[in-house]
């Protein structure tokens, strides 16, 4: 036990906390839009509560810091993963049904597709994905450093601040507060909050590494660190903007047109590259070997994979802008670097699969490991597909169609969410000190529902996208288009219904998973479960016990 008071840390944390509270206060007082006043009040209230918490910590007598891992913060993040997951997947399925049956838009401002779509993407990427990264990175950095998480108050400020940022984002969209920059929609004040949070996150990570009892920094932490640094750069540059005043939420980008497009897709592509890939590879590099109980196959492949990814991803953003007004040399450079990107991507794939050598039989009875293995497979498919789509001739076919949507979801449903869910099924019993999850059968149900949902979704979108594009490109003998644009829309309907059904299966699977995790955390009272065979009621001879007489599973 070491004694410690929170003087320095609390005092430094007080500055950003008060800044957020003050900005919120100003919005509340001068805001002319209801949503800005609401956001201001929330910011002021959260800031005030956080300041109060910091004051209490500062004035309290030096507390004894336990020498054990800080798992409370991980538990909190796990709960948020479940909440944002259900919101994100749920809204995603709603917008999928809206595309199949447009009357479901109800023609109200806050229920139309354009406003709900970023709610879906933000809740999934930043809400579900972001909390998954907080939980797992905090877990991994402590275990692989054999050190308690740095900071007494900063982890909690980071956790609540981050979730406040996501909350401001999604509630803002519903009322039309958005930058309409894909995957960076939150307005400037939410972005500033995110920046403060990120500085805290970076500090926690570095300070924990600094007190590590291991000489080497484990490979998973390289990825987490890469993600934290790169995302900070992307977030800052891409969100540079001019607010019109403190009375309105609106701001204008500091960049225009072509430069703005390149900056935005440099961000957009690398949000995928570092947020949704590098960081989740960090998760893979810890939880897969742990679940399989095998060491990582190759140290050398890890090094090649990591540095190759950090270097190459940043070049590839321009493949989102093929044949546009962006200068050709940038397009060709982006395409070429995208090809090279396959090398580090598949280095991780091979490393993942070969790590499973000697543990493949475990897939038969461990659904969590199955989730992780399929995640690697989906990662392999999606990265190959991504390279393919980055080629200019293929892009001429795939761009602007549902093929892109299918590709993104192969990555999001199949890779990001699968690796998260697989890791969660391991992480939850570890941090709540349970022997295992509540039910492996429910895990298996979740697995098969999620897999069929993802396959239906991606399959439907491939077909929809390619058909759509071919229809746009079909000429008759006179050089006239055979199909009007509306013909290509009418054709989509069955695929859109199939996609929405796939999404529904995925959502139901996740809700079963959430239920399973909830019961793992709060098991039904153990007293009802007979602990030894002797105390179990004996079945009448020759008669199989009735299900009702069985102990609850």
Partner 1 sequence: MGKLHQMIERNSIVLVLMITIVASIGGIIEIAPLFTIQNTVEKVEGMRVYTPLELAGRDIYVREGCYACHSQMIRKLKTDVDRYGHYSLAAESMYDRPFQWGSKRTGPDLARIGGRRSDEWHVRHLKEPRKVVKGSLMPGYAFLADTDIDPQRIALSIKALQWAGDPYTDEMVKEAAKDAIRQASPDMDDAESIKERYGEKVQIRDFDGNPARVTEMDAMVAYLQMLGTLVDTKALRAAVKAQRQAAESKPAGKAKEVAAR
Q: Which residues contact 252 (CB under 8 A, 6 or more apart)?
A: 241, 242, 244
Q: How far is the CB of 160 from partner 1 (least distance, A)?
A: 26
Is 254 one of the binding residues for partner 1 (CB under 8 A)? yes
Rounded Cα distance, 373 and 390, in Å: 26
Q: How many CA atoms lie within 13 A of 123 on its CB side?
A: 23
Of the candidate spans 45-53, 243-251, 526-534, 535-543, the one that interacts with partner 1 by CB under 8 A turns out to be: 243-251
Of the candidate spans 2-10, 188-196, 247-255, 362-370, the one that interacts with partner 1 by CB under 8 A turns out to be: 247-255
Q: How far is the CB of 64 from partner 1 (least distance, A)?
A: 27
Q: How far is the CB of 112 from partner 1 (least distance, A)?
A: 4
Taking the least distance from each CB to partner 1, the nearer of 226 and 422 is: 226
Rounded Cα distance, 278 and 162, in Å: 19
* Region 145-184 residues binding partner 1, contact defined as CB under 8 A: 173, 176-182
Record the tokens describing residue 513, joined without a space: 């998973």
Rounded Cα distance, 114 and 369, in Å: 37
- CA-nearest of 308, 221, 226 to 274 is 226
Taking the least distance from each CB to partner 1, the nearer of 218 and 447 is: 218
Single residue of 84, 189, 201, 313 touching partner 1 by CB under 8 A = 313
Taking the least distance from each CB to partner 1, the nearer of 312 and 351 is: 312
Taking the least distance from each CB to partner 1, the nearer of 307 and 360 is: 307
Of the candidate spans 99-107, 192-200, 378-386, 424-432, the one that interacts with partner 1 by CB under 8 A turns out to be: 99-107
Q: How far is the CB of 301 from partner 1 (least distance, A)?
A: 12
Of the candidate spans 9-17, 249-257, 418-426, 450-458, the one that interacts with partner 1 by CB under 8 A turns out to be: 249-257
At residue 169's C-alpha, the angle toward residues 453 and 164, to 5°, is 105
Total residues interacting with partner 1, rule: CB under 8 A: 96
Q: How far apart are the first and last CA of the chain?
A: 40
Rounded Cα distance, 349 and 301, in Å: 10
Q: How far is the CB of 353 from partner 1 (least distance, A)?
A: 23
* Region 390-449 residues binding partner 1, contact defined as CB under 8 A: 396, 399-402, 404-405
**Consecutive H or E run containing 231:** helix 219-238
The b/e string for 434-467 (b: 16+ C-beta within 10 A; e otherwise) is eeebbbbebbbbbbebbbebbbbbbbbbbbbbbb
Is 217 one of the binding residues for partner 1 (CB under 8 A)? yes
Of the candidate spans 6-14, 45-53, 330-338, 505-513, the one that interacts with partner 1 by CB under 8 A turns out to be: 330-338
Taking the least distance from each CB to partner 1, the nearer of 180 and 293 is: 180
Spell out, one character per residue from 28 to 67, where the chain touches partner 1: x when CB under 8 A holds, - when not. Answer: ----x-----------------------------------
Q: How far is CA 57 from CA 5, 18, 67, 159, 481, in A?
A: 8, 16, 19, 17, 71
Is 482 one of the binding residues for partner 1 (CB under 8 A)? no
Q: What is the largest CA-CA distance in the chain?
A: 87
* Region 63-92 residues binding partner 1, contact defined as CB under 8 A: none
Is 263 one of the binding residues for partner 1 (CB under 8 A)? yes
Using DSSP's 3-state secondary structure scheme, residue 185 falls into coil
Is 293 one of the binding residues for partner 1 (CB under 8 A)? no
**CA 183 to chain CA centroid, nearest Å:** 12
Q: How far is the CB of 7 from partner 1 (least distance, A)?
A: 25
Of the candidate spans 57-65, 96-104, 158-166, 506-514, the one that interacts with partner 1 by CB under 8 A turns out to be: 96-104
* Region 12-31 residues binding partner 1, contact defined as CB under 8 A: none
Q: Which residues contact 302 (CB under 8 A, 6 or more apart)?
A: 219, 285, 296, 347, 348, 351
Single residue of 7, 365, 481, 545 touching partner 1 by CB under 8 A = 481
Is 258 one of the binding residues for partner 1 (CB under 8 A)? yes
Of the candidate spans 157-165, 327-335, 412-420, 506-514, the one that interacts with partner 1 by CB under 8 A turns out to be: 327-335
Q: Which residues contact 550 (CB under 8 A, 6 or more apart)?
A: none
Using DSSP's 3-state secondary structure scheme, residue 204 falls into helix
Record the tokens describing residue 390, joined without a space: 């980055």
Q: How far is the CB of 275 from partner 1 (least distance, A)?
A: 13
Rounded Cα distance, 69 and 165, in Å: 27
Q: Which residues contact 215 (CB under 8 A, 6 or more apart)?
A: none
Q: How far is the CB of 88 from partner 1 (least distance, A)?
A: 16
């Amino acid at each position: 036990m070491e004694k410690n008071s929170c003087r320095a840390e609390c005092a430094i944390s007080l500055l950003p906390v008060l800044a957020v509270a003050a900005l919120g206060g100003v919005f509340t007082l001068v805001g002319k839009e209801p949503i800005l006043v609401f956001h201001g009040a929330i910011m002021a209230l959260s800031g005030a509560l956080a300041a109060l918490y910091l004051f209490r910590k500062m004035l309290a007598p030096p507390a004894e810091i336990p020498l054990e891992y800080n798992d409370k913060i991980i538990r909190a993040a796990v709960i948020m993963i479940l909440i944002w997951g259900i919101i994100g997947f749920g809204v995603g399925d709603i917008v999928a049904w809206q595309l199949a049956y447009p009357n479901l838009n109800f023609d109200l401002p806050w229920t139309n597709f354009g406003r709900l779509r970023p709610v879906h993407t933000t809740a999934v990427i930043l809400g579900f994905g972001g909390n998954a990264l907080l939980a797992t990175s905090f877990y991994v950095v402590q275990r692989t450093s054999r050190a308690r998480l740095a900071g007494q108050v900063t982890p909690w400020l980071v956790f609540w601040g981050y979730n406040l940022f996501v909350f401001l984002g999604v509630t803002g969209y519903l009322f039309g507060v958005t930058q309409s920059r894909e995957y960076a929609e939150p307005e400037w004040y939410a972005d500033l909050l995110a920046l403060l949070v990120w500085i805290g996150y970076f500090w926690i990570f570095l300070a924990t590494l600094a007190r590590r009892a291991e000489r080497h920094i484990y490979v998973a932490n390289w990825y987490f660190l890469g993600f934290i640094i790169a995302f900070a750069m992307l977030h800052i540059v891409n969100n540079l903007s001019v607010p019109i005043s403190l009375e309105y939420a609106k701001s204008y980008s500091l960049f225009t047109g072509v430069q703005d497009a390149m900056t935005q897709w440099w961000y957009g592509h690398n949000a995928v590259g570092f947020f949704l890939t590098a960081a989740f590879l960090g998760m893979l590099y810890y939880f897969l070997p742990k679940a399989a109980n095998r060491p990582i196959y190759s140290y050398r492949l890890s090094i090649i994979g990591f540095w190759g990814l950090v270097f190459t991803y940043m070049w590839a953003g321009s493949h989102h802008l093929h044949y546009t007004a962006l200068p050709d040399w940038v397009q060709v450079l982006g395409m070429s670097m995208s090809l090279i990107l396959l090398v580090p991507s598949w280095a991780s794939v091979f490393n993942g699969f070969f790590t499973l050598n000697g543990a493949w039989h475990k897939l038969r009875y461990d659904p969590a490991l199955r989730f992780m293995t399929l995640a690697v497979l989906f990662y392999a498919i999606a990265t190959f597909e991504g390279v393919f789509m980055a080629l200019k001739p293929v892009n001429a076919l795939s761009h602007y169609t549902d093929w892109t949507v299918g590709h993104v979801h192969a990555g999001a449903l199949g890779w990001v969410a699968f690796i998260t869910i697989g890791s969660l099924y391991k992480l939850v019993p570890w941090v709540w000190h349970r022997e295992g999850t509540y039910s492996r059968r429910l895990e298996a149900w979740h697995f098969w529902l999620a897999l069929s949902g993802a396959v239906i979704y991606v399959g439907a979108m491939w077909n929809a996208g390619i058909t759509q594009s071919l229809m746009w490109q079909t000429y008759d003998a006179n050089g006239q288009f055979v199909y009007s644009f509306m013909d290509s829309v009418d054709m989509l309907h069955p695929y859109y219904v199939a996609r929405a059904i796939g999404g529904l299966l995925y959502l139901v699977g996740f809700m079963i998973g959430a239920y399973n995790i909830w019961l793992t955390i709060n098991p039904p009272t153990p007293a009802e479960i007979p602990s030894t065979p002797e105390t179990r009621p004996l079945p009448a001879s020759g008669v199989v016990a009735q299900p009702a007489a069985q102990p609850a599973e």
